[in-house]
Amino acid sequence: MKRLIVANWKMNPQSVGEARKIASQIEHGLLAIKRETIEVAIAAPFIFLPMVKQAVHFVRLGSQNISAHSSGAYTGEVSAKQLLEFRVSLALVGHSERRALGETDDLINKKVLIALEHKIEPVLCVGFGTKFGMSESAEKKILMAQLRLGLRDVKVRSEKFAILYEPTWAISRGVGSGQAVAPSRAALMIKFIKSKYPQARVLYGGSIDSKTAAGFAVEDVIDGGVVGAASLRPQDFLEIVKSFNNY
Ligand code: PGA
């Protein structure tokens, strides 16, 4: 199973020129990295997807959200079919920052199902609502509830999907404090998730940068990461990719 690193640009950068520059630098940097064991994706804002599609070949295209509906009168939504037009093959679903805007487990489950129906790999994000210093059992309970509801009716043996373990408090900007989870704790939680969903790639997210990456990469059980702030700095992002590729 290849490791996967996803750049989650969130609502950044602010210009198409900057976005093109970052995408091209990431693509260029990947030329120098053997990629047999790793996949890289950029989850760009919808509006930049056509440009990113032009700028990259080795990088998979991702979205940060996907509509739960296939078409119709849903102002502001973007459908799976529309995403496929731009070679999007991966979608973050239920990111903490979207759950904070009111996305429910039920809605998230619909998004996971519609992504799978269109052969877009969903990355189901869990860990919203966990607190720093929480007991292992309390944290597992929250993760399990979000996994069970988010993956309801998913044929977990045959479908290709990923799970992101990302405690809200560990996210570097916005709602989070910017303190990464201890790699040993992340490995423990990811092992737990894998014991329930052994066929999924399970990633870690929250304040991964070029300094913290190696600590996570060295943990075999962690199948990759989702990188927010550091993914806007191509050199840092490429260092992270290299770390995960080295172990
Ligand atoms: P961060 O964001 O790397 O800036 O902490 C990760 C995420 O929210 O997916």
Widest distance between CA atoms in the chain: 47
Q: Is the CB of 172 under 6 A from ligand 1?
A: yes
State pLDDT tens for residues 142-189: 999 999 999 999 987 667 899 999 999 999 976 656 799 999 999 999
Query: Dihedral, CA atoms, 99, 105, 106, 109, nearest 10 degrees?
Result: 100
Mean pLDDT in residue range 237-244: 96
Cα angle 148, 222, 181; round to 5? 85
Residue 154 near residue 124, CB atoms below 8 Å: no
Q: Indicate if the pLDDT at residue 103 is higher than 70.
A: yes
Mean of pLDDT over the chain: 95
Residue 100 near residue 128, CB atoms below 8 Å: yes
Percent of the chain residues topping a pLDDT of 70: 98
Q: How far is the CA of 73 from the centre of ligand 1 (A)?
A: 32
pLDDT for the residue numbered 157 = 66
pLDDT for the residue numbered 246 = 82
Q: Is 156 exposed, middle or buried (0-12, 13-18, 19+ CB in 10 A)?
A: middle
pLDDT for the residue numbered 162 = 96
Residue 88 near residue 61, CB atoms below 8 Å: yes
pLDDT for the residue numbered 204 = 98
List the catalytic residues. 95, 166
Q: Which atom of ligand 1 is nearest to the CA of 176?
A: 5
pLDDT for the residue numbered 159 = 72
Q: How far is the CA of 9 from the centre of ligand 1 (A)?
A: 9
| Residue nearest (by alpha carbon) to ligand 1 atom 2 | 228
Could you say which DSSP state residue 181 is in?
P
Q: Is the CB of 6 under 6 A from ligand 1?
A: no
Mean pLDDT in residue range 212-237: 97
The structure's pTM equals: 0.96
pLDDT for the residue numbered 155 = 82
Q: How confident is the model at residue 28 (pLDDT cuts 50, 70, 90)?
A: very high
State pLDDT tens for residues 106-150: 999 999 999 999 999 999 999 999 999 999 999 999 999 999 999
State pLDDT tens for residues 57-98: 999 999 999 999 999 999 999 999 999 999 999 999 999 999
